[in-house]
């Protein structure tokens, strides 16, 4: 019997496997894809803080980012730039493979092309049922299971937990460009209602184009690609469209008897952007610490594993609440109000003051939200639209 079965070989899943194997646990990772390096629907923009903390290999990084161009519904532009790189664009498929290789070298086992269909929590073990292209109902047992399969997996409910209640749909494709060097973000209801679209340069002559919406994702993606082509920003046909469900808020519980949930499945994401690599890996370390202690003392009860919820809630709870408040606020903005915010930002040099603020970091949006709330020039907009929540409680 394995000590732990990790379901999902994304960054959070492989990080948990690596840390547990490092502590001498017998770990197996179950992945439905045939290759851990397969492309995924993710821009792969990761903060420098994440890269340094987790020792992301240089070969994974495509380019560094220190500026972005934000485009209003009418085409107005705000250019945000900092002197030092704030993030890097990585190849997410290569990143996944790199993290999996690190776990393998530490002693974790990987079982690919296995889709987990059932998770049955017993008093003394977890029974896992899976299938592949050739065999149905293959089974294995572990003392504990870690669900790291991304948002929307039914395994969360099978474990007696609830998934994050709010989500949106992301779509992305690779496109050809001519000399594009800067990340571009597009706002407005005609592009991506309530959310945003992007054009992110990767390698010379190539970029990733995508967007997030709650509805009609393919329709808005087609319009966005047509717009980019019409403006001469992309050329040639787009590659295959890749879709993914994105959690926008945290799950109420991410632990139960003999089960933990990490990554997007737990809602460990930045609600403003939907990015989850850094938060997922931070929480993976906490999950591994909790599990290592619980396995050592053979105490895998819900009470014992609840320490994981408390730990990551202290680190990210308020950050996610602030981000979710901002997300709901932004969804209430009409294109006209977005234009007004652009005009106020440009006139009062708010973009410059934010770019020059030393306390703002790429992966922590809460500080940016609080800085914006302090801007007197924007107070009229905040008063005009009721905040989605009356208060943000501190942990």
Q: What is the mean pLDDT of each run of 10 residues along the chain (395 residues)?
A: 97 98 98 90 90 94 90 92 88 95 98 94 96 83 95 91 90 89 93 96 92 96 95 84 92 96 94 93 98 97 97 95 90 91 86 74 75 74 61 44
pTM of the model as a whole: 0.92
Helices within the chain (DSSP H only):
11-22, 48-54, 92-106, 155-158, 217-230, 277-296, 302-331, 335-347, 350-356, 365-373, 379-384
- Which pLDDT score is estimated for 79? 87
CA distance 306 to 206: 45
Radius of gyration of the chain (CA): 21
Q: Under 8 Å CB-to-CB from 58, ≥6 apart: which residues?
A: none
- Which pLDDT score is estimated for 354? 76
Class of 62-89+166-246 per CATH? alpha beta
CA distance 251 to 279: 14
Q: What is the DSSP string of 49-63?
A: HHHHHHT--GGGEEE
Residue 215 burial (C-beta neighbours within 10 Å; 0-12, 13-18, 19+): exposed
Q: 2-43+92-163+252-322 domain in CATH 3.30.70.3270?
A: no
Domains of the chain, by residue range, sit at 2-43+92-163+252-322, 62-89+166-246, 327-384
In this structure, how many other beta carbons lie within 10 angstroms of the beta carbon of residue 361? Answer: 15
- Which pLDDT score is estimated for 388? 53
201: nearest Cα among 64, 319, 35, 362: 64
């Amino acid at each position: 019997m394995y000590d732990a079965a990790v379901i999902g070989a994304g960054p959070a899943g492989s990080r948990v496997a690596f840390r547990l194997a490092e502590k001498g646990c017998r770990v197996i990772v179950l992945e439905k894809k045939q290759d851990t390096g397969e492309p995924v629907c993710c821009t792969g923009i990761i903060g420098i803080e994440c890269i340094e903390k987790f020792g992301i290999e240089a070969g994974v990084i495509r380019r560094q980012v220190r500026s972005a161009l934000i485009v209003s519904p009418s085409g107005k532009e705000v250019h945000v730039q900092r002197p030092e790189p704030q993030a890097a664009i990585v190849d997410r498929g290569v990143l996944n493979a790199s993290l999996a290789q690190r776990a393998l070298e530490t002693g974790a086992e990987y079982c690919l092309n296995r889709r987990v269909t059932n998770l049955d929590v017993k008093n003394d073990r977890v029974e896992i049922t899976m299938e592949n292209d050739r065999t149905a109902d293959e089974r294995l047992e572990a003392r504990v299971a870690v669900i790291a399969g991304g948002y929307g997996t039914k395994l969360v409910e099978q474990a007696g937990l609830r998934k994050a209640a709010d989500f949106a749909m992301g779509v992305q494709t690779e496109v050809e460009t001519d000399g594009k060097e800067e990340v571009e973000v597009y706002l407005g209801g005609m592009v991506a209602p309530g959310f945003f679209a992007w054009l992110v340069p990767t390698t010379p002559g190539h970029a990733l184009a995508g967007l997030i919406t709650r509805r009609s994702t393919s329709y808005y993606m087609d319009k966005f690609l047509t717009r980019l082509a019409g403006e001469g920003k992309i050329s040639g046909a787009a590659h295959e469209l890749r879709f993914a469900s994105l959690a926008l808020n945290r799950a109420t519980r991410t632990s139960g008897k003999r089960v933990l949930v990490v990554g997007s499945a737990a809602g460990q994401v930045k609600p403003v952007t939907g990015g989850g690599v850094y938060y997922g890996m931070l929480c993976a370390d906490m999950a591994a610490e909790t599990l290592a202690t619980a396995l050592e003392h053979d105490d895998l009860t819900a009470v014992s594993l609840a320490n994981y919820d408390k730990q990551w809630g202290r680190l990210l709870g308020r950050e996610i609440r602030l981000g979710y408040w901002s997300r709901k606020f932004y969804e209430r903005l009409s294109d006209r109000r977005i234009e007004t915010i652009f005009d106020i930002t440009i006139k009062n040099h708010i973009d410059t003051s934010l770019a020059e603020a030393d306390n703002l970091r790429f992966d922590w949006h809460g500080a940016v939200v609080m800085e914006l709330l302090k801007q007197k020039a924007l107070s009229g907009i905040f008063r005009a639209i009721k905040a989605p929540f009356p208060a943000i409680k501190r942990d």
